[in-house]
Amino acid sequence: MPKPPRRKEPSLSDLRLEIDRIDEAMHRLLMERGETIDRLIAVKKTQETGSAFRPAREADMMRRLVQRHRGNLPLDTAESIWRVIISTFTYVQAPFAVHADLSAGDALMRDSARFHFGFTVPFVPHMGAASVVETVSRSKGDLGLVPAFAITGGGPWWAALEFDTAPKIIARLPFVERADHPAAMPAFVISRVAADAMVTETEVWSMRVSGWRGTSVNTLAALADVIAVPDRAFDGAALLVSVERGGIKTVADALVGIGASIRSTALVGSHATRYTVTDKP
C-alpha cells in the first residue's frame, strides 16, 4: 500500500503571510465592533444619559476571557488588550476621564490606570482621595481611582460617599488577581452608575464605631476586608468594610462581640468578587 504524500512544512514566508491575515482580520473585527457601538449609541442615546460604564457586564467579560485563555500568549497581555478595548469603546459611547489619587505613588497609580483604561481615556492626577471624590461628584460620568488603603489626614475619604446623591464605589482593581500582576496595586473605582449596571456580589459599607482597638481588624479578617482610620468624633474608628452581599450583619455582630459600639452604617458601593488565578492558564 503506497504511503500518503508527506505534508509540506510551511515556509517562513507562508507563516508570515498567515500572521498578516490574522492581524488584518483582528483589525477588521475591531472596526466592526466600532460600527456596532455606533448603532448602540443610536439605540440607547448614551451620549445624553451619562456614564456608559457597566461594571457587571465587564466583570462577566473578564471572567470569560480568563476561562477560555490558553497558549503561550501571556494572560497579562490578553487582559490588558481587552481592558483597553472595553474602556476605549466605553469612552466612544460617552466620553469620560479617570481622576486618580497619586498619594500612594505616581508610578503605581499610572500603571494601574493605563493597564485598565488605556491611553485614549484622559488621565487627571490629584493629590488626595478627597479631591478625587469631590471632582467625580461634580462630573456627569467620570471615574475616580483611589488606592484601597489611601491614608488621609482629614478623616475617612469614603464618608463623602454616604449620601444618596453621592457617587459610589463600583469596582475594585485589579479584578483578575494573581501573584505577578503588572498593575497589582489595590484600588477602588468610584463613579455615578445606573443601579441596573452595578454588580453587588461584594458590598462596601462605611461604619463608625467606638470602643475600637487596633487588634480588632484581626478579629474581622476572616469575615471581611476592613480598612480602619481613627475617628475622634466617636473616640473610635471609621471603617470601610468590604463583605459578601448580605454579610454586614455578621460583621456588626462580631464588632459588638469584641466590645465595640456601632454608631452608624451606610452602604457606599459594591463590586464584583475578585477573580483569583492561582496558576497561569
d(CA 90, CA 212) in angstroms, rounded, equals 43
- Phi, psi at 248, each rounded to 5°: -65, -30
What's the CA dihedral at 96, 41, 115, 73 to 10 degrees?
-170
Give the contacts of 214 (CB within 8 A, at least 6 positions apart).
Answer: 228
Distant-in-sequence, close-in-space partners of 41: CB < 8 Å, separation ≥ 6: 47, 92, 93
Looking at the predicted structure, is the pLDDT value of residue 49 above 60? no
Q: How far is CA 231 from CA 29, 152, 210, 241, 269, in A?
A: 53, 12, 8, 15, 21
C-alpha cell at 20: 498578516
| Average pLDDT, integer, range 57-67 | 91
In single-letter form, the type of residue at position 273 comes to: T
Q: What is the pLDDT of residue 21?
A: 96
Q: Which carries the bigger pLDDT value, residue 64 or residue 235?
A: 64
Q: For residue 143, what are the contacts with CB-CB under 8 A and spacing of at least 6?
A: 53, 96, 97, 98, 99, 117, 136, 189, 190, 191
| Whether residue 143 has pLDDT greater than 60 | yes
Which is more confident, 281 or 19?
Answer: 19
* Per-residue pLDDT, 155: 77
128 vs 281 pLDDT, higher one: 128
Question: Cis (ω within 30 of 0) for the bond into 174?
Answer: yes
**Mean pLDDT value across the chain:** 88
Task: Kindly indicate the confidence band of residue 153, based on its pLDDT and cuts at 50, 70 and 90.
Answer: low
| Cβ–Cβ under 8 Å, residues 225 and 206 | no
Q: Round to whole Å and give the CA distance between 281 and 263.
A: 46
pLDDT for 96-132, tens place per residue?
999 999 988 899 999 999 999 999 999 999 999 999 9
Q: What letters, b where the CB count within 10 A reaches 16 and e where it falls short, cover 236-271?
A: bbbbbbbbeeebbeebbebbeeeebebeebeebbbb
pLDDT for res 33: 94
- Mention every residue, 6+ apart, whose C-beta is less than 8 A from residue 137: 160, 166, 167
Count the neighbouring beta carbons within 10 Å of the beta carbon of residue 113. 24
Is beta strand 98-101 parallel, antiparallel or unpaired with respect to 236-244?
unpaired
The side-by-side arrangement of strands in the sheet containing 187-191 is 123-126, 98-101, 143-147, 187-191, 168-173, 261-271, 202-210, 236-244, 225-231
Question: Who has greater pLDDT, 92 or 152?
Answer: 92
Structure letter (DSSP) for residue 203 = E
Q: What Å distances lie between residue 83 and 59, 144, 251, CA to CA?
A: 11, 17, 34
Q: What is the pLDDT at residue 99?
A: 97
User: Please, which pLDDT band fits residue 281 given cuts at 50, 70 and 90?
Assistant: very low
**Alpha carbon distance 66, 6 (integer Å):** 38
Tell which wins on pLDDT, 274 or 111.
111
Structural domains of the chain in order of their starting residue, each with its CATH number: 23-196 (no CATH), 203-270 (3.30.70)
Structure-model confidence comparison of residues 51 and 83, the more confident one: 83
Rounded CA gap, 234 and 80, in Å?
44
Q: What is the pTM of this model?
A: 0.88
Half-sphere exposure of residue 74: CA atoms within 13 angstroms, side-chain side: 7
**pLDDT reported for residue 151:** 67
